[in-house]
Amino acid sequence: MKKIIIIALAVMLMLTSVASAEVSLTSGRNIDHANHEVIVQLDNEPGARPQKGIGSADIVYEVELYNGGYTRYTAVFNDTIPDMVEAIRSARIVNADIYTDYFGVFVHFGGQKYPGSNVYDHFGILRDVTRIDGISEDGGKTFYRDKSRKAPNNVICILPNIMDRVDWSTVLAKSPLRFNAEYTVPEIGENVNSFRIAYRDSYTPSYQWDAASGRYLRFYGDKPFIDGATNEQVMVDNVIVQSVDYSWISGESDRPSVGTVGSNKCEYFIGGKHFSGHWEREGLYVNTIYYDDAGNVVQFNPGVTYIQFLKTEKSVEITG
């Protein structure tokens, strides 16, 4: 009888565990908590490197914000929330548009206010926005400056404090990515071991396929791209090079207008394979859909995804 009770309890615990498990919208992995997405705007100037906490992100966008190739990151955290991230920077309209592919909570430190490119005006016309602007914070409990680095590349955010202060029952969560149930090598495409995206000198990410781990090692320039909090090199499961149309408002190089709605070409790197396709997005409240050249929706491998926004006139460089 005692043995039967023990077995019954074990089964109940197993069923409870299965029932409480959820699939991450941002990585396709099983997680033991609800999908609570935190979208963080991160600096990428040399003084902000290595970024701290970025290795915990499920999805990272690299986006040119200054004409000439100067980029910043928009990082999506969900599966793992690091204790802190550095360095938080200001937002542009394109970053807000990326946010609406997920919703969740948007974390930034200020934003552009020029007429015609005012991100605060843009947020004002969007629905269901939940955001925390560190520039309006005081008290130093959630945002503060790292004295070992120089401003403006040194704003730290304590992400667990963000999690505790949000009423998650009112926050939307979604994702544009669709995932395989398990690791899969695509049946289409060509074998590619290395590639790079040359935004400009000192802004050149590259990826190296590591067959032993079945993942891509990320580099910046000729150095490993590391998380400054752990000193570990970032490894990636999927890379999307997403072509987008750029223009510059009033001809000013720091005021980008980026085509995040519509359709354009894409290059995909999954499981050591490279193939092409396109993306489509019908509006800011509709998720981006990624297609291959045959018109099939692309299924990504569970894990970390990097999305490189690239001007339509430029292309990814296959190096090996």
Rounded CA-CA distance 31/123 in Å is: 30
Q: What is the pTM of this model?
A: 0.93
Fold match between domain 36-170 and domain 190-318: yes
For every one of its 320 residues, what pLDDT tens digit does the chain have, with 9 covering 90 and above? 444 433 333 333 333 333 346 999 999 999 999 999 999 999 999 999 999 999 999 999 999 999 999 999 999 999 999 999 999 999 999 999 999 999 999 999 999 999 999 999 999 999 999 999 999 886 678 999 999 999 999 999 999 999 999 999 999 999 999 999 999 999 999 999 999 999 999 999 999 999 999 999 999 998 999 999 999 999 999 999 999 999 999 999 999 999 999 999 999 999 999 999 999 999 999 999 999 999 999 999 999 999 999 999 999 999 99
CATH 3.50.90.10 for the 36-170 domain, yes or no? yes
* Dihedral, CA of residue 200, residue 237, residue 102 and residue 24, to nearest 10: -160
Report the SS3 class of residue 122: helix
Boundaries of every domain in the chain: 36-170, 190-318
Going by their DSSP bridges, the two strands 305-311 and 59-66 should be labelled as parallel
Pairing of β 317-318 and β 194-196: antiparallel
Q: Does domain 190-318 have CATH number 3.50.90.10?
A: yes
